[in-house]
Amino acid sequence: MDAFSSKDMAMKAQKKILSSMATKSSVQMFIDDTSSEILDELYRVSKEYTGNKSEAQKVVKDLVKIAVKIGVLFRNNRFSNEELRVAQDFKKKLHTGAMTAISFYEVDFTFDKTVMSEILSDCRDLLLKLVNTHLTPKSHGRINHVFNHYGDPQLLTKLYDPNSNFRPNLTRICKGLNKLVEDGTI
């Protein structure tokens, strides 16, 4: 029996098209304004930290591609019940991460790079488990790239240093995270 499925083909085409469109203008169609502002700040932090504009663009582009592809998978009901439980675990861990990030920001000198790095590592592992059978190894590499970049203890330490140049960025990131938490988005 032929294993061809037009629905599968359409979904693959959708993922491919959307991943190639991960530019700022196309992101606006798929990501709300608050998330877009957070992504802009993450880009600025990455650019300043690495001193490399193209690396900063790549990490944010990878983040957007992954978010869009997972959105396509959800819309097309591609996740099993077990995978949906993993997705719920991921959402809970992401919520915990956002609350922790905000708390570390609001209370000076409480930042613990190990705690934040572990939360991001756990999020990465849950996300990889969720998409294991749905996305290519290249996409898995993108997930690792994003979480390894932002989970870097040195980056996190500089970001949370109350006297660093990153303080305004962190303020805007946490303001956005707070709004997403209040809205129930994360």
Residue 46 lies in a domain: yes
Sort residue 4 into left (φ over 0), alpha (ψ -120 to 50) or beta: beta
What confidence category does residue 14 fall into, taking pLDDT thresholds of 50, 70 and 90?
low
Q: Is residue 127 part of a domain?
A: yes
The pTM assigned to this predicted structure is: 0.83
Q: What is the pLDDT of residue 10?
A: 62
Kindly report the average pLDDT of the chain as a whole number: 88
Confirm whether 11 is domain-assigned.
Answer: no
Residues 68-72: what's their mean pLDDT? 86
How much is the average pLDDT of 91-115? 95
Asked whether residue 175 carries a pLDDT value surpassing 60, the answer given is yes
For residue 127, with 0-12 CB atoms within 10 Å meaning exposed, 13-18 middle and 19 or more buried, which class applies?
A: buried
Number of domains in the chain: 1
Model pLDDT, residue 109: 85
Asked, for residue 3, whether it belongs to a domain, the answer is: no
**pLDDT confidence bin for 89, thresholds 50/70/90:** very high
In a domain, 23, yes or no: no
CA distance 123 to 91: 9
**Do the domain assignments include residue 2?**
no
- Stretch 73-86: mean pLDDT: 92
Angle between helices 33-50 and 53-75 (to 10 degrees): 150
CATH number assigned to the domain comprising residue 130: 1.20.1440.160
**pLDDT for residue 68:** 84
Residue 164 forms part of a structural domain = yes
Q: What is the mean pLDDT of residues 107-135?
A: 95
Report yes or no on 20 lying in a domain. Answer: no
Q: Is the pLDDT of residue 146 over 80?
A: yes
Residue listed under structure tokens 């599968």: 8
The CA dihedral of 151, 156, 159, 160, to the nearest 10 degrees, is 130
Q: What pLDDT score does 75 carry?
A: 84
Q: What per-residue confidence (pLDDT) applies to 1?
A: 45
pLDDT band per the 50, 70, 90 thresholds, residue 9? low
Residues 6+ apart with CB under 8 A from 177: 38, 98, 101, 102, 186
The mean pLDDT value for 77-81 works out to 92
- Print the domain residue range for 87: 33-183
